[in-house]
Amino acid sequence: MKYLLSIFIILLSLSNHSAKAQDHFEELRGLLRKEEGSSNRIKLLQTFLIQYKNSSDTLKMANAYHFLSFLKPDRKSAYVDSIIAITKNKSYARFPAGAYLEKGNIKYELGDYSGALESYVQASETAKTNGNDKLHSDAKFNVGLLKNQAGDYEESQIIFAEYITFLEQNSKYRTVFNYNPALFALADSYIHTKDLDLAEKTIAKGIKQTLKTKDSTTYSYIIVTSGIHQYLLKNYQKAIDSLQKGKELIYKFDPIETRIATCDYYIGRSYKDLGDKETSLSYFKKVDTTLRKTKDVIPEIIDVYDYLKEDAKSKDDYKLQLDYLNTQLELDSIRYANQVYLTRNITRKYDAAELISEKEKLIAKYEKDTFLKNNTITFLIILSVVLVLLAVYGFRRSYLNKIRFQKLLLEQQEKSKIDTSVPIEKNIKSNLTKKEDLDIPEDVVETILKKLQDFEIKNQFAKKHYTLNSLAKELNTNSAYLSKIINVYKNVNFANYLNNLRIDFAVDQLSTNKALRSYTIQAIAEEVGFKNAQSFSSAFHKKTGIYPSYFIKHIKD
């Protein structure tokens, strides 16, 4: 997905200019096509740019900067910043949203994923504000690719599916450069979550579409995905055939070796499961060669070193075993240095403590060898401590979230057992004990408590956004009485009272209503009475100790 993103986000940004076309943009593009050679086009644009600056025409200036950014890639970032500077307070259909989108692509290429995400969000917001549905959807798709890369597969799948639906419903925006990659992205994400039936359907659709449009680039990636899919289905020979075919196609146009490494990894896994150890090792060694050379880390194939270390161990080759371990630790450090992964709790196959123990045993056996110098040993020890701390933090957080989740489910089950046949009046009187002096007649307190219980039972709190005054008016009382009674008898203020009701209702609905779990967080928030996803997530975490996304993911499991 890392390399899919680096190619297709650029293609998306090129294709987004079909959206809300502006006459001058198309006119300028037509003039550039008549010029032969990039140098002539650059001179023409620079001439026009002087004219546009003299007339203070910011839209035409932005169009000129846009084309210059592709003709002079070494100054791309500067041109994109210029577009943003002159159009950020404008309401053009294409700018500044298109420039923010391109800035996000640039930041991604530099490894600044946080900056890329920020730019994509700005692109999405400005495109939506300025009425450019196409650019808004493109920016959201790029955010989905980042989420998918970071391991947030469920959220990214929702985004990819929405993007595909948008393109299918708006054929004027649909191109080979956006629809085909979207199908691939969704299929790849399904592979990561082991949704093999959905992956199979999406792969079949992607193959049909890429063959129809003669899109050999995306076709090759979908064929590789199909090979991984066959491997997961344990159809090992079919997996090898598809992966070899995809590998041959990629060789023709793609210079990035790590794509080939992914193919080699799954081919090696397939041969291993077929019982052909020697052939599998030959492919695993190819993966090792590529990773050592490129230092590009693809998390899913790092465990190739587990197989290589095991082979070296079986041959009592401690020097080679230690070499593989050092390489694995180095690549792990690169992996954790990537801020996308540092913000996630990535579950590693081997406990960091096991790696440390293994390393210490190998060092003890090989301590007289000159292969390891003192500074290398020091580095490994420090790195091992860091890995242990990261693992402990991740495991502790995972454990606490699991306990909170189980407690929440148990509480929900207990609530469902409450006898609802007892009349409301009886419940009120049994709970109506003497409280501090409220300066409110007891019959008024009892009446308001009855109305509040009725309000809670009918889930009215989820139907609209209440204020203290509006609820008091609805209950035919005054806000002062209502506030005091809620504080004393509910032990919370009015805002927390409403939030707690809505969170309990959300937990109940998500536990029993499978359809609701497929909604976006924003949609669920609105269903239970919150204005937005942020306030819902904050209130959910405050009351339960976990976020709604975690609860939904684990309730599905």
Give DSSP secondary structure letters for 156-181: HHHHHHHHHHHHHH-GGG--HHHHHH
Q: Quick check: 143 and 156 in contact, CB under 8 A?
A: no
SS3 546: coil
Residue 456: burial class (beta carbons within 10 Å; 0-12, 13-18, 19+):
middle
Whether domain 424-556 has CATH 1.10.10.60: the reply is yes
Boundaries of every domain in the chain:
278-417, 424-556
What does the block give as tokens for 450? 């009855």
The pLDDT, as a whole number, for residue 447 is 92
Q: Torsion angle of alpha carbons 14, 17, 19, 21, nearest 10°?
A: -160
pLDDT tens over the chain, length 557 residues:
454 444 455 444 444 444 444 557 888 888 888 888 888 888 888 898 899 899 988 988 988 899 898 888 889 899 999 999 999 888 888 889 889 989 988 887 776 777 888 888 888 888 888 888 888 888 888 888 888 777 788 888 999 999 999 999 998 889 888 899 999 999 999 998 999 999 999 999 999 999 999 998 899 999 999 999 999 999 999 999 999 998 888 877 665 677 788 899 999 999 999 999 999 999 999 988 888 887 776 777 888 889 999 988 898 888 898 888 888 888 777 665 554 443 443 233 323 433 444 556 566 666 655 545 566 767 778 877 777 777 677 667 777 777 777 777 777 667 666 544 445 454 455 455 545 567 888 888 999 999 999 998 988 888 777 888 988 898 999 988 899 999 999 899 988 999 999 999 989 888 888 888 889 999 998 888 888 989 899 999 998 888 998 888 888 77
Helix axes 318-337, 304-314, angle to 10 degrees: 170
- The count of other CB atoms within 10 Å of the CB of residue 352 is 22
Q: How far is CA 361 from CA 333, 350, 371, 490, in A?
A: 21, 16, 15, 60
d(CA 7, CA 421): 62
d(CA 189, CA 197): 12
Q: How far is CA 241 from CA 226, 246, 252, in A?
A: 10, 9, 18
The pLDDT, as a whole number, for residue 129 is 86
Beta-carbon contacts of 85 under 8 Å, excluding residues fewer than 6 positions away, are none
Side-chain-side CA neighbours of 306 within 13 Å: the count stands at 14
The pLDDT, as a whole number, for residue 326 is 87
Helix axes 176-192, 196-212, angle to 10 degrees: 160
Helix axes 494-512, 548-556, angle to 10 degrees: 20
The pLDDT, as a whole number, for residue 368 is 56
**pTM exceeds 0.75:** no
